[in-house]
């Protein structure tokens, strides 16, 4: 009972903070003068045109309602529903991320199990890891010659490192005793890898995967601003060019919500594979 009451009180507090925050925001936005209040001079110099400004939350909420009630409309290249834009972004992230996982996890196993491989590959990892994924973009665009694939490549290159390093770390840290259990039961190396080392290292590997998906979602926005065409990053930049700050704020919120969803999905998997010693 104390836990549920704690949750309840926390929810009340969150809600209060939200409402207070929105009210302050709403109050802080100066209302635009109605056309009737303007002097003739002001009207002649264009002050009657709607001014660009940070919109109040009420407008953002109205925008969100409008967008979310029809998220998948497609009215030409520069006017697609938020659902379609997010769909493109998620698709790119998942493809790049999956490719990274397919390479990083087996390679991480190798590095974790073989001190030779660790020592030989470590310098490459240490040099490549700190490179901003966007720095790869020009090279990717030139070599791949396709903006879509380049964006996927950038996701691939940014999500590979945390998975690789965590897999290697997790595999190298598997308790000697558990490996000895596999050895005294005469398990072959493949069976040992799948029945002992993989489950033992899974929580650490999932930690890496969770960091990776977070980074990938951060990077896709920037990558899509560069490559353009579709995607939530492109959408934000396009609305900035349209000076539609209401849509910008709405899409920022959507980026946050989707990012939270991706993290929660991996968090769920992480809890499923974790174990208490």
Partner 1 sequence: MKPFLSVENMTQRYPDGQGGELTVFEDATFGVEKGEFVVILGHSGCGKSTIMNILAGLSDPTSGVVIMDGTEVKGPSLDRGVVFQNYSLLPWLSTLKNVTFGVSARHPEWSRAQVIEHSTKYLAMVGLEGDVIHRKPSQLSGGMRQRVSIARAFANHPKLLLLDEPFGALDALTRGTIQDELLKIWSGTEQTVFMITHDIDEAILLADRILLMTNGPYARVAESVEITIPRPRNRTEIIEHPNYYAIRNHLVTFLGKRSKEMAGQKTGEGSNRPTPVRIDTTEPEEPENAPPALRAVNE
195 scored as a contact of partner 1 (CB under 8 A):
yes
Report the nearest approach of partner 1 to the CB of residue 257 (Å): 33
Decide: 165 and 208 in contact? Cβ < 8 Å. Answer: yes
113 scored as a contact of partner 1 (CB under 8 A):
no
199 scored as a contact of partner 1 (CB under 8 A):
yes
Count Cβ atoms below 10 Å from residue 95 Cβ, excluding itself.
Answer: 17
Decide: 196 and 174 in contact? Cβ < 8 Å. Answer: yes
Among 86, 200, 236, 249, binds partner 1 (CB under 8 A): 200
189 scored as a contact of partner 1 (CB under 8 A):
no
Report the nearest approach of partner 1 to the CB of residue 272 (Å): 10
The phi and psi torsions of 30 (rounded to 5 degrees) equal -65, 135
The phi and psi torsions of 255 (rounded to 5 degrees) equal -60, -40
275 scored as a contact of partner 1 (CB under 8 A):
yes
68: nearest Cα among 254, 196, 259: 254
193 scored as a contact of partner 1 (CB under 8 A):
no
Report the nearest approach of partner 1 to the CB of residue 266 (Å): 18
Q: Please list every residue from 159 through 188 that binds partner 1, using CB under 8 A.
A: 177-178, 180-181, 183-187
Q: What is the DSSP letter of 35?
A: G
Count Cβ atoms below 10 Å from residue 26 Cβ, excluding itself.
Answer: 13
CB closer to partner 1 out of 9 and 183:
183
Q: Please list every residue from 214 through 273 that binds partner 1, using CB under 8 A.
A: 273
158: nearest Cα among 231, 85, 96, 95: 96
Which residues are at the interface with partner 1 (CB under 8 A)?
177-178, 180-181, 183-187, 195-196, 199-200, 202, 273, 275-277
């Amino acid at each position: 009972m104390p836990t549920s009451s704690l949750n309840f009180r926390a929810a009340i507090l969150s809600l209060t903070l939200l409402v207070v925050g929105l009210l302050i925001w709403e109050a802080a936005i100066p209302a635009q003068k109605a056309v009737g209040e303007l002097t003739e001079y002001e009207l002649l110099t264009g002050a009657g045109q709607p001014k660009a400004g940070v919109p109040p939350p009420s407008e953002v909420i109205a925008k969100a309602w409008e967008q979310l009630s029809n998220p998948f409309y497609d009215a030409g290249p520069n006017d697609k529903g938020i659902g379609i834009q997010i769909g493109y972004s998620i698709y790119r992230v998942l493809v790049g991320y999956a490719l990274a996982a397919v390479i990083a996890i087996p390679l991480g196993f190798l590095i974790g199990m073989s001190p030779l491989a660790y020592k030989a590959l470590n310098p490459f990892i240490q040099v490549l890891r700190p490179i901003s994924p966007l720095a790869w973009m020009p090279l990717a665009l030139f070599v791949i010659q396709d903006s879509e694939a380049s964006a996927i490549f950038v996701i691939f290159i940014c999500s590979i490192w945390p998975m690789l390093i965590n897999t290697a770390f997790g595999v190298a840290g598997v308790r000697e005793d558990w490996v000895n259990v596999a050895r005294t039961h005469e398990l072959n190396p493949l069976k040992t890898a799948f029945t002992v080392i993989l489950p033992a290292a899974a929580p650490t590997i999932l930690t890496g995967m969770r960091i990776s998906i977070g980074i990938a979602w951060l990077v896709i926005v920037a990558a899509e601003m560069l490559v353009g065409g579709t995607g939530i990053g492109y959408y934000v930049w396009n609305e900035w060019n349209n000076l539609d700050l209401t849509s910008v704020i709405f899409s920022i919120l959507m980026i946050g919500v989707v990012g939270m969803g991706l993290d929660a999905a991996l968090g769920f998997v992480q809890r499923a594979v974790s174990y208490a010693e």
